[in-house]
Amino acid sequence: MKMKKQIVLMIIALFFVSFNLRTSIAAISPVLESVRADLHLSNGIVSLLTAIPVICMGFFAFFAVKISARFGLERTIAACLVLIGVATALRAFSHSAFTLLLTAFFIGIGIAIAGPLVSGYIKQQFPHQIGMMIGIYSVGMGLGASFSAGLMLPLQKYLNNSWQLALASWSIFAVIGLLFWYPQMVKDREIALTSKIPTQLPWKNKKAWMFTLLFGLQSGIFYTISTWLAPIAQSLGFNGTQSGTLITFFTIIQMIFSFLIPSLADLYKNEKAWLLGSIGFVFIGLLLFLYPLVTPWIATGLIAVGLGGLFPLALALPLNATNSSQEASAWTSMMQGIGYMIGGIIPIIAGLIRDYISYDKQVFVMMMILCCIMMIALSRWKEKSSLPSNS
């Protein structure tokens, strides 16, 4: 009974840590216009509030392993929660662009370092339930993003229309996360010592590079959909309310399947098949936007199902291919470091394509090409080496 209680507390701690990894980014979007008007900022400067954390998520992920090796995995994750919480709370005093951009920078660092280490923690504590735990991790991030984006405007109204206080209020979840995470910092000496063994990033490993490519391309498709689905829906005849509802529908479906698919992958172990199936759903959904045989709602739902599976399955790849939490963190650091950079560049390319190619569905063609690249990469993956013996 005591062991079950400890496992439940570990799962709750994991959930609240992951919840904090997207809230401060997603909360900005609903109040961007208020921020721009109050601080007299250009659209370019305002866009940096979301761009800076994503860039940091790529660049600073490379340092996660070294920092963890020096201070320990659990302590480093706790420090990241403190950094995210303090930076978010400081937004209450953000009366200039510099202060607001500085908080975005430190939030990005906290997310970048915590992300790979949470994967290492899952590998360390749940080596036989990786899919389910990755699903909980993904749902936590999704709920954090959805709640913060959906509740920001009511929260701003409740706080006398202060977007500063509304943004800062999300720091309370960092405090909650720390309260649940603190018991995880109390480990026996053996675990504490092994967590300080340094592991090099797998720069020369072909499989690690394939994982990085898959993670980067799926991330790019997700951010492209997030950026351009509403404008494209409006170009297809949707009004503003309908396009917003379409985004909400996409988010809900994606969150549901971000838990279901990796959990099923735990039971029916065939990573390659699950990945190909998820990519297939995305490809068919994109194809149905090009050739509208069905309503865009169905096409969007298919894309959401596929992306809901792709993200957690991609996160699980390094965990299933490595033999220790330190090695898993190293592989994940490389995968997320380069992958998020790729993911941040692809929506920009999509925007340029929309500017220079006079075809209203050109972005979908680009994403279908990315799906084909992922399928080709997976076809070269030798199935027999995809899973370690302990998975």
CA dist 390 and 320 (Å) reads 8
Cβ contact 82:159 at 8 Å: no
Domain boundaries, the chain: 2-194, 206-383
Structure confidence at residue 2 (pLDDT): 61
Cβ contact 171:60 at 8 Å: no
Distance linking the first and last C-alpha atoms of the chain? 25
Long-range pairs for 347-352 at CB < 8 Å and ≥24 separation? 347/220, 347/223, 347/224, 347/226, 347/227, 347/228, 350/224, 350/227, 350/228, 351/227, 351/228
Q: Between 387 and 267, whose confidence is greater?
A: 267
pLDDT (average), residues 331-360: 85
Residue of 216, 223, 194 whose CA lies nearest to 325: 194
Structure confidence at residue 42 (pLDDT): 80
Fold topology of 2-194: Growth Hormone; Chain: A; (1.20.1250)
The angle, 0 to 180 degrees and rounded to 10, between the axes of the packed helices 296-321 and 206-235 is: 160
Q: Between 50 and 146, whose confidence is greater?
A: 146
Within 8 A by CB and 6+ apart from 314, the residues are 211, 214, 215, 218, 275, 335, 339
**Confidence band for 87, pLDDT divided at 50, 70 and 90:** very high
pLDDT (average), residues 125-152: 90
Fold topology of 206-383: Growth Hormone; Chain: A; (1.20.1250)
Does the structure show a pLDDT above 50 at 386?
A: no
pLDDT digits (tens, 9 = 90+) for 188-202: 444 444 445 556 889
Q: Do domains 2-194 and 206-383 have the same CATH topology?
A: yes
Structure confidence at residue 25 (pLDDT): 87
Residue of 254, 255, 221, 17 whose CA lies nearest to 120: 17
Structure confidence at residue 193 (pLDDT): 44
Question: Which two tokens mark 173?
Answer: 């979840």
**Across the chain, what does the average pLDDT equal?**
87
Structure confidence at residue 390 (pLDDT): 36
Cα 230 versus chain centre, distance: 20
**Confidence band for 181, pLDDT divided at 50, 70 and 90:** very high
